[in-house]
Amino acid sequence: MHNQPQSSSASLFPTLAKERENVEPNVSVVIPCYNEEGFIGEALSKLANQYNHEHFEIIVVDGRSEDGTRKVVEEFKRRFPGLSVTLIDNPARNIPTALNLGAAAARGSIVARMDAHAAPSPGYIRRCVEVLRQENTGVVGMPCLVRPGADTLMAQAIAGAVSHPFGIGDAKYRLSEGGPLQEAVDTVAFSCFRKALWQGLDGFNESLLTNEDYDFNYRVRLGGQQVILDRSGHCDYFARSTLKDLASQYARYGFWKAHMLKLHPRSVRLRHLVAPAFILSLAVLALSGLAWKPAWWLLLGEVAVYLLCALGAGWQAAQKKEKGFMITSLMPLVFMTIHLSWGLSFFHGLLRRR
């Protein structure tokens, strides 16, 4: 597929004959992965009975994993001999390339983009296929319920932070509570779409090593179709379990979000700018204090307010959990890791050419 997205136009979308209600379309699930021995097994198990095996296939696009990922996939194939499971190589070891390789190999007319860290609820795939029949629907996904990636207090704190508005803003697919059964949104995480739509958009943009799904969904919306969030099910997503991994993840998000916004400036949302604005305000006050001492008091006040808000959000996220007080005490550190990693790398991405 081409690396650069095409310009927006309704002509991007080929004319699609609506599937007859009594015909079951073929569905291909595409899972990019690399060194996911600890998670890929559960993801596959939760997908196994999502759809009629005669019309269903799973394509695992592996970046030549160096752990036991491939053995787990092969064992799964032996457990479900009636289900088509294909393992293909992704030498590039990045997600958009994996998605394009998988979609190109897909035999189904509908592609479901999943993740090794995600486990869909029963009926997820079938429900998405049903919603795709609705008029003017291009992409369908469901909320992510974030689960701890390990049985530690830090992992529980991270899971709480990345599913709370103070941590991730108003991304509706991360905020599963409340809202109508269906609504049009700007993006979803683990989505279903027609292969013809993917072809019409020239695939995922391989120049964006992260945010490729947001870019894809934005181009879908530019072409006049809707991205639908359906709340009749969900997808469990296992968050990172250490601050180091969390910082690395959100540094990637921030860096590539900056490049995404260079490509599509009109796609910007307020949540994309909050962390960079926070970083900028800290830097401005710190430097201003060199010439105007009260600026340092303002800086101290801003940090104090931030920490109080982080504690409040942390308590809100952790109060129903066992050892909630201990988890709450970790939340400011987790929120700070998210915001600093994302904000600093966003500026890095703005200043650096791809």
What sign does the CA torsion over 291, 308, 276, 158 have?
positive
Pairing of strands 191-194, 110-113: antiparallel
Q: What is the pLDDT of residue 324?
A: 84
DSSP string of 266-317? GG--HHHHHHHHHHHHHHHHHHHTTT-THHHHHHHHHHHHHHHHHHHHHHHH
AA letter at 221: R
- For 51-93, where are the alpha helices, taking DSSP H only? 69-79
What pTM was computed for the model? Answer: 0.87
Q: Whose CA is closest to 252, among 31, 95, 89?
A: 95
Q: What is the pLDDT of residue 108?
A: 97
AA letter at 91: P
Domain chopping of the chain, boundaries = 10-142+188-239, 261-351
Per-residue pLDDT of the chain (354 residues; tens, 9 = 90+): 554 444 444 444 444 444 444 578 999 999 999 999 999 999 999 999 999 999 999 999 999 999 999 999 999 999 999 999 999 999 999 999 999 999 999 999 999 999 998 999 999 999 999 999 999 999 999 999 999 989 999 999 999 999 899 998 878 888 756 678 899 999 998 999 999 999 999 999 999 999 999 999 999 999 999 999 999 999 999 899 999 999 999 999 999 999 998 999 999 888 899 999 999 999 999 999 999 999 999 999 999 999 999 999 999 988 877 888 899 999 999 999 999 999 999 999 999 875
Q: Which two tokens stand for residue 200?
A: 């019409």
Query: To which residue do tokens 């949302």 refer?
Result: 269
Query: CATH number of the domain at 10-142+188-239, out of 3.90.1150.10, 3.40.640.10, 3.90.550.10, 3.40.50.261?
Result: 3.90.550.10
CA distance linking residue 160 with residue 164, whole number of Å: 6
Q: What is the pLDDT of residue 1?
A: 57
- For 29-152, where are the alpha helices, taking DSSP H only? 40-47, 69-79, 95-105, 124-132
Of the CA atoms within 13 Å of residue 208, those in its CB half-sphere come to: 25
